[in-house]
């Protein structure tokens, strides 16, 4: 961009660029040398004139040499002055004021204006005016024009001087006008360049801002996508250990952190226990069952105590950093509390090998992710508790059901039915054969040697309760695996149906007991005196429970009886 110094140039530099000035000077001097050579070649002048022209030519040659060396100012001065001197000298030796060579005076003035500017024009104009006046005075004094029959008076001298002065002033005005115009154009160009530069700077700043914003938005989108991937990966996991291990692996892979650990609060609420980690150093910490006291001078301990995120941009200088030799590459660390339903569960510990690795966007995204991890941990805990409760219910139900079936089967070997080839249905009787007992104990289907008889045991709640024995008609094929699988399915459904029937009978018995209890209680309440109530209770309970006898006695602990 151009500066103010570039604007403050001479009029000659405005008309002729500085880089082109040297060639203008050289060409001007060469033309003058050619003219001098032509003049001398035509045989004009005596020996003294030849010396003068030789000196002038030498001066012009020195001007060319100096100009070639890079200094143009001497040449700029020599070229117009030598041209003006040459014209005056030729006129002096020729026809004086009537010499045609003086018609070239405007050319010298123009050349002075181009090479030296306004002040060069004024200087050469004054020099030419004085020179012409001197030539005219010389003619007037001698009363004989040089090689002319025309007489010269003061009017001719004044007229020639006025013409030179007017030409000089006109040249000065034109140069000044054009220089001002060029100066305004340069200043306008300068303002335009400055405006373009400022506009370019503003555009560059805007582009940088857009690029930075685009980069930040792209990074934020990647972080949110990574958070979504982590949430998706852990959403379906119910086992807590697998969940925490997957969380550390996913966060490390998606966000590029070299160590991610999950601490959970112990039952006493005093220590943060490391439960999962992805790094090699973290695995060593897990083996040692690493834990940090809540409120200790560690980032995790601080976070657990204050229930707020804690960030150390350069953990080597951070006052609360817990120096851990298993993680020596840590340069930045961030711990985020894991909170679900207002309850503190633990902390998410993230470490990076870069200093100042965490931005505000990282903190916000990881906090959202930490909240999701906390919810997943709470869901896993609830699932585990529900599963334990369900297992306890199943075990209790199984114990009750097994006891009920043991009561049903105790001492009964004839519970069952069989149907013969004619369709006669009869209850079973007699003792179990060794073959049936072996099949019941084995828990597997057994075929007879001829392949026509199949015995399939069945169980309820791991209690073998019975066996199904089937025999095909003579002449039919043996029992194949497909048929055996079909029978096993039917036997399983039979077991389910038996359990349902037992539950129904049990509910009926409970309902009957409740009804009997209600009837006895109702009849007892119908009496208002103690004896009647006791008598009613004895009678109704014996009848309802089908007892041989029943006794009700009232008395104190010292042995005094009331009935």
Please give the average per-residue pLDDT across 391-400, as a whole number. 73
- Cβ-based neighbour number of residue 215 at 10 Å: 10
pLDDT above 70 (res 248): yes
Name the residue with tokens 């405007």: 106
The dihedral built from the CA positions of residue 148, 150, 156 and 160, taken in this order, carries a sign that is negative
Which neighbouring-strand residues pair with 336?
Answer: 348
pLDDT above 90 (res 263): yes
Please give the average per-residue pLDDT across 513-541, as a whole number. 78
Please give the average per-residue pLDDT across 243-250, as a whole number. 84
pLDDT above 60 (res 7): no
pLDDT tens figures, 115-167: 777 677 777 777 777 777 777 777 767 655 444 445 555 655 676 666 667 66
Q: Calculate what percentage of the chain has a pLDDT beyond 90.
A: 4
- Range with top average pLDDT, 2-16, 28-42, 45-59, 434-448: 434-448
Q: Which pLDDT value is given to residue 320?
A: 46
Q: What distance in Å separates the CA atoms of residue 477 and residue 340, rounded to the nearest whole number?
A: 66
- DSSP E strand boundaries for 217-286: 259-265, 271-277
Q: Which pLDDT value is given to residue 273?
A: 92
Please give the average per-residue pLDDT across 362-387, as a whole number. 82
Helices and strands, number each (H, E), in the chain: 15, 11
Mean predicted lDDT score pLDDT of the chain:
76
Q: Which pLDDT value is given to residue 323?
A: 64
Q: What distance in Å separates the CA atoms of residue 441 and residue 464, rounded to the nearest whole number?
A: 8
Q: What distance in Å separates the CA atoms of residue 270 and residue 340, rounded to the nearest whole number?
A: 19
| Contact by Cβ (8 Å): 110, 172 | no
Q: Which pLDDT value is given to residue 301?
A: 87
């Amino acid at each position: 961009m151009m500066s103010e110094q570039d604007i403050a140039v001479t009029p000659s530099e405005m008309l002729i660029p500085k880089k082109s000035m040297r060639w203008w000077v050289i060409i001007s001097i060469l033309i003058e040398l050619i003219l001098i050579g032509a003049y001398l070649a035509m045989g004009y002048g005596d020996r003294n004139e030849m010396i003068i022209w030789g000196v002038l030519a030498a001066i012009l040659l020195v001007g060319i040499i100096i100009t070639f060396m890079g200094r143009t100012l001497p040449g700029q001065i020599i070229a117009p002055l030598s041209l003006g001197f040459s014209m005056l000298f030729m006129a002096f030796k020729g026809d004086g004021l009537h010499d045609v060579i003086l018609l070239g005076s405007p050319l010298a003035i123009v050349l002075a204006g181009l090479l030296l500017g306004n002040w060069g024009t004024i200087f050469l104009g004054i020099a030419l005016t004085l020179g012409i006046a001197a030539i005219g005075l010389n003619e007037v004094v001698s009363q004989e024009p040089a090689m002319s029959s025309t007489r010269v008076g003061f009017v001719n001298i004044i007229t020639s001087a006025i013409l030179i002065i007017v030409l000089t002033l006109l040249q000065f005005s034109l140069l000044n006008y054009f220089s001002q115009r060029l100066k305004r154009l340069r200043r306008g160009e300068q303002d335009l360049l400055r405006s373009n530069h400022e506009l370019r700077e503003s555009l560059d700043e805007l582009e940088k801002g857009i690029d930075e914003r685009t980069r930040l938005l792209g990074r934020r989108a990647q972080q949110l996508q990574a958070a979504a991937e982590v949430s998706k990966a852990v959403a379906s996991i119910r086992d807590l250990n697998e969940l925490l291990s997957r969380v550390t692996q996913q966060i490390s892979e998606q966000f590029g952190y070299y160590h991610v650990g999950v601490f959970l609060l112990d039952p006493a609420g005093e220590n943060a226990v490391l439960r999962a980690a992805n790094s090699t150093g973290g695995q060593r910490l897990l083996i040692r069952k690493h834990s940090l006291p809540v409120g200790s001078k560690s980032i995790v301990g601080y976070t657990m105590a204050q229930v707020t995120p804690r960030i150390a941009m350069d953990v080597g200088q951070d006052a609360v950093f817990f120096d851990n030799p298993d993680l020596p590459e840590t340069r930045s660390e961030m711990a985020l509390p894991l909170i679900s339903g207002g309850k503190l569960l633990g902390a998410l510990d993230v470490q990076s090998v870069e200093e100042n690795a965490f931005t505000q966007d990282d903190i916000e995204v990881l906090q959202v992710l930490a909240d999701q991890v906390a919810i997943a941990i709470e869901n896993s805990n609830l699932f585990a508790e529900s599963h334990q409760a369900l297992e306890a219910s199943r075990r209790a139900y199984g114990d009750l059901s097994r006891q009920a079936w043991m009561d049903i089967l105790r001492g009964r070997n004839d519970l069952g039915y069989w149907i013969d080839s004619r369709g006669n249905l009869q209850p079973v009787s007699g003792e179990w054969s060794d073959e049936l007992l072996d099949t019941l104990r084995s828990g597997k289907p057994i075929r007879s040697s001829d392949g026509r008889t199949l015995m399939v045991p069945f169980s309820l709640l791991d209690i073998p309760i019975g066996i199904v024995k089937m025999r095909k008609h003579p002449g039919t094929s043996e029992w194949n695996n497909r048929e055996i699988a079909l029978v096993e399915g039917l036997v399983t459904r039979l077991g389910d149906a038996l359990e349902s029937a037992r539950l129904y009978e049990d509910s009926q018995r409970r309902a009957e007991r409740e009804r009997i209890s209600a009837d006895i209680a109702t009849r007892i309440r119908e009496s208002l005196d103690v004896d009647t109530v006791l008598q009613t209770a004895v009678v109704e309970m014996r009848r309802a429970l089908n007892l041989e006898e029943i006794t009700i006695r009232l008395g104190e602990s010292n042995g005094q009886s009331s009935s």
